[in-house]
Structure 1
Amino acid sequence: MQEQLLKPPILKLVTLSLALLGCQLASANEFYSADRQWLFGDWNGERKQLEDQGYKFTASIMSQSATNLAGGYNEDKSFDNAAQLTLGANFDLNKIAGWENTTAAIMLTKRDGNSLTLERIKDPRASTLGNSQEIYGRGKIWRLTQAWIKTGFDDNHVQFKIGRMGMSDDFNSSQCEFQNLLLCGGQLGKSIGSIWYNWPVSLWGTNVKYQFAPDWSLGVGVYEVNPDNVKTDSDSDGFNLDMDNVEGATIPVELAWKPKLATFNALPGEYKLGALYSTAEAKDVGISGEIHDGKYSFWLNAQQQLTQYGADSKRGLYISFNGVINDRDTTAVESTQQLALWYKGPFDSRPNDSIGLGLANYVVNDRVTDKQIATNEGRGYYSYDALASDYVPIQHDELNLELNYTYQWSPAVMLRPNLQYIYQPSGVKEVDDAWVAGLSVKVNF
């Protein structure tokens, strides 16, 4: 039997959220209401009153389950669950202290559980590329995920932010309408995770964004490269605040265009073009293994609403594309591409639900493939060996596909059943393509 995946309080809360599905609709003030904003309610009006005074509190649990239907490295059936608890607070310092255009935030997270991809889908000797549960990773520990302050100048056309944060909070950010890792959120952390840290990891950083025209803005940031931030030995590692082992800085620059009237019948969209340079030394991924002075990446994020259903501006068809190109000398994943479609409000009776279809691809650097071949030949292996512990699986591209339905029971409860297909898990041709069934559950308390 698998080890317990969630601490008892978290397990009880997730079980409670699932029980909601069997309940009848009630008024907005009742516990099981389909209009209920928070599962635990408005605290007799105190929650709304605190928000009006500048204090907004959040608490949520995300659970992602997955089971292998067919294929993968190990076809023995398994059911694996990953979970994440999030506790946060946002502060409007204009209301609280009279600091105009100034906000602050603090966020704590705790992850737990297991990954089906690691347990069944991939060859355990190969480095991990995709994951069928995007919230798995970066350790089963408590983390300080956010602790920052942001202030605006020049009528908020210039915004300055400093503190502890994830890099995709402000650069290479994207929608997350899926459970599969590469189809969810910013892409850089999936391919250059040694220098680009996404949620739930935070790091010291600062950024400035300048809105120089109504539809255009330019952002630049400076973030530490500090391997201590991704240690997972104990909960104290998740609260590392020192900079003793900083190896350099990652500097992203991003140009964003958010047209208000120009395209697609005035439907909203956003287009971002970015680049980064890291000053930290980076090892060559090829046979030479030489040390480079830094590394770079480029990206394109695009999201557009294509259609609108009647007078409801939120219902309709959306599309997104995310592409990343990495430094071939220093990065094992040369590029990633993601294309996704989702339709919000597919039925009049379910205006807040959505249907999603996404396709995403990892392209492994052929210099890495050549090194793996050379390593195996040096050990006397000239073909795939499923048993040898020192055999290095040869990696190529990995393709991920997901079809899902998001059932928004209420603003407080979301369920997302999904079906995933993984072509060449971890890029290893000898591993059978895999079919995975998944279920995401999110509860806002």
Structure 2
Amino acid sequence: MLDRSINVARVCGMGIALSSLLGGGAHAADLLTKAPPLPYAETDDFWTRPYLFGDLGRTRLKEMGIDIGLTLGNETVGNLSGGNRNTGANAGQLWFGAKFDMAKLAGIQGGTVGLTLVDRFGDNLNSEAGIPALQLTNEVFGRGNILRLTELYYSQKLFNGLVEIKGGRLPVGSDFFFGQCEFINLTFCGGQPGNIQGGYIYNWPVSQWGGVVHYNFAKEFQLSVGVYDSNSNYLTTSDPTIYYLPGVPGSIPGSGVLVPVELVWAPSGPLNGTWRFGGWYDSASTIDGGLPGIITTIPGVGGVPDQNLSDQRGRYGFYESILQRLTVDGPKGQGWYTFLNTTVADHRTSYQDYQIAWGVKHTGTFAWRPDDEVGFAVGTTHVNSNALSPNAGGNEIPIEAWYGWQATGWMNLKFDAQYVINPGGRGYNAAGVKTDNAWVLGMRTTVHF
């Protein structure tokens, strides 16, 4: 039944794109700088309404306190160079979200229940083409082609919104880090600490049990503290049966506690923005594979790098992420925006120990296309100089540009080009063979149902 639903979603998405092109008509945190779909109006026609299937009673449900959404995101990419062969790959996700306003439903002022389900499908271009990149060139791929519970939480605002407490199943990136995801290369998408520390910081769609407190201590300022169960079992796509063997892929280490702390400045006014400064500490002390360690022998396995289990100081890092509007060029969000992300992870335990990304976007590219956009970004991911890899000390440098066409009120198409310099850090694959820089072309399709 699940496979059938995925196939239907794929066919539907491709059919929508084709019908739009032929018809010539006219998607967590800071996920998009672009405004979400407008409330449905009976006068909207097929091309201008914000949802493919129309309102379907969702306006009435929202008035009652139930806000629902269903979105398909799909990325089709192919490499012209890099790796060991030129090929293509397609990956996507079907996303369902619901928020329940407990003030309207149960008279609990400031209470909210949130639910998010994510069903992913498709293939990884890096694997299909043999590109040894550190970061995905189609970011929507990952964490298994399965249906995941991404969010199930209760949130309560107290003291007239001065404090918010939140708990349940949560991705860390729902409340911390920089959540914008308007590019296809993972360097520029989602919570940056999770991009380079994905073994224990789990970005969307993986969730874990956690609790968060947000404290709005001054106008435009917020302090947030979270506590999350740090356990690799959340990454599994089936019931794990293997016990933990240090350095052996697929084995499950013991759990710990992940504690992020973040200060946010959100300047208001026409030139608004979100400036985040924070850090994290994880009590589960292990070292990323590929770093030096004691060589130990495990019966039936042989010599593998020990994860330095005698070192129980944990692991940590720091980050900043800035999203800032630069100009006001129109009434519907038109203007220039920029972002800058920097993450530095504990050099003692991290294979990828820092990442930097900068980019710009303009909404309202042409006067006759006020909802179209253009974007450009450049970044770098560094491999720890102590890593046991020919890529040690190297920097992977992706450059990306795209044009976003708002084809209809409910569908957006982004035509994308990436150039990845030194994939893997120095261009070496797992066999120690040097590969070329990668040219990747792609298209992202976003459909609101």
* 1:108–1:146 CA contact under 8 A, matched in 2: yes
Can you list the C-alpha shifts for 1:61-83, whole angstroms capped at 9, x where unaligned? 1110101112x121x33121001
How far apart are 1:59 and its partner, in Å? 0.8
Task: Give the structure-1-normalised TM-score.
Answer: 0.85
Distance 2:209 2:423 in 1: 34
Distance 2:266 2:78 in 1: 39
Distance 1:409 1:30 in 2: 19
Distance 1:16 1:96 in 2: 38
Which stretch of structure 1 is more off in the superposition, 20-29 or 279-288?
Answer: 20-29
* 2:259–2:282 CA contact under 8 A, matched in 1: yes
* 2:317–2:344 CA contact under 8 A, matched in 1: yes
Distance 2:384 2:183 in 1: 26
Gap change, CA 1:32 and 1:116, over 3 Å in 2: farther
* 1:89–1:105 CA contact under 8 A, matched in 2: yes
Q: What is residue 249 of structure 2 aligned with on the other side?
A: none
Can you list the C-alpha shifts for 1:351-406, whole angstroms capped at 9, x where unaligned? 111100011210111011xx336xxxxxxxxxxxxxxxxxxx66721111110011
Are residues 1:353 and 2:372 paired? yes
- Given the alignment, which residue of 234, 248, 269 partners 2:256? 248
Can you list the C-alpha shifts for 1:92-123, whole angstroms capped at 9, x where unaligned? 11111111011111111111111111111424
Secondary structure of the residue aligned to 1:119 is helix
Are residues 1:322 and 2:341 paired? yes
Which stretch of structure 1 is more off in the superposition, 203-212 or 174-183?
Answer: 174-183
* 2:131–2:438 CA contact under 8 A, matched in 1: no
Which stretch of structure 1 is more off in the superposition, 285-294 or 33-42?
Answer: 285-294
How far apart are 1:428 and its partner, in Å? 3.3
* 1:201–1:230 CA contact under 8 A, matched in 2: yes
Distance 2:407 2:112 in 1: 31
Q: What is residue 382 of structure 1 aligned with on the other side?
A: none
Are residues 1:364 and 2:383 paired? yes
- Given the alignment, which residue of 426, 434, 441 partners 1:437? 441
Gap change, CA 1:304 and 1:31, over 3 Å in 2: closer
Gap change, CA 1:172 and 1:5, over 3 Å in 2: farther
Gap change, CA 1:342 and 1:121, over 3 Å in 2: farther
* 2:274–2:323 CA contact under 8 A, matched in 1: yes
Q: Say how many residue pairs are matched.
A: 400
Distance 1:67 1:30 in 2: 40
Q: What is residue 378 of structure 1 aligned with on the other side?
A: none
Secondary structure of the residue aligned to 1:366 is coil
Distance 1:199 1:35 in 2: 30
How far apart are 1:129 and its partner, in Å? 1.1
Q: Which runs of 5+ in 2 are unaligned?
A: 27-39, 241-251, 295-306, 428-433
Task: Give the structure-2-normalised TM-score.
Answer: 0.84
- Given the alignment, which residue of 216, 219, 231 partners 2:221? 216
Q: What is residue 83 of structure 2 aligned with on the other side?
A: 73
Distance 2:107 2:409 in 1: 31
- Given the alignment, which residue of 363, 366, 370 partners 1:344? 363
Distance 2:410 2:351 in 1: 40
Are residues 1:278 and 2:278 paired? no
How far apart are 1:313 and its partner, in Å? 5.8
Can you list the C-alpha shifts for 1:208-241, whole angstroms capped at 9, x where unaligned? 0000000111000000111110012379xxxxxx
Q: What is residue 421 of structure 1 aligned with on the other side?
A: 419
Distance 1:7 1:21 in 2: 23
How far apart are 1:28 and its partner, in Å? 6.9
Letter in 2 for 1:54: G
Are residues 1:206 and 2:223 paired? no
* 2:25–2:407 CA contact under 8 A, matched in 1: no
Percent of counterpart pairs with the same letter? 31
* 1:65–1:79 CA contact under 8 A, matched in 2: yes
Q: Summarize the alignment of residues 43-442 of structure 1 with structure 2, pairs less than 5 Å apart.
A: 43=56, 46-70=57-81, 72-74=82-84, 76-123=85-132, 129-233=134-238, 247-260=255-268, 266-283=270-287, 285-288=291-294, 289-291=307-309, 292-293=311-312, 294-309=314-329, 311-312=330-331, 314-368=333-387, 371-372=388-389, 396-429=394-427, 430-442=434-446
Distance 2:417 2:24 in 1: 28
Letter in 1 for 2:13: V
Letter in 1 for 2:438: A
Letter in 1 for 2:396: E
Q: Summarize the alignment of residues 20-59 of structure 1 with structure 2, pairs less than 5 Å apart.
A: 20-25=20-25, 33-43=46-56, 46-59=57-70
Distance 1:198 1:20 in 2: 32
Letter in 2 for 1:170: D
How far apart are 1:51 and its partner, in Å? 0.8
Can you list the C-alpha shifts for 1:172-192, whole angstroms capped at 9, x where unaligned? 023222111111121111111
Distance 2:256 2:169 in 1: 16
* 1:345–1:353 CA contact under 8 A, matched in 2: yes
Superposition CA RMSD, Å: 2.3
Secondary structure of the residue aligned to 1:410 is coil
Distance 1:395 1:121 in 2: 21
How far apart are 1:148 and its partner, in Å? 0.6
How far apart are 1:32 and its partner, in Å? 6.5
* 1:357–1:404 CA contact under 8 A, matched in 2: yes
Q: Which runs of 5+ in 1 are unaligned?
A: 236-243, 374-392
Which stretch of structure 1 is more off in the superposition, 76-85 or 412-421?
Answer: 76-85
Gap change, CA 1:64 and 1:314, over 3 Å in 2: same
Secondary structure of the residue aligned to 1:432 is coil
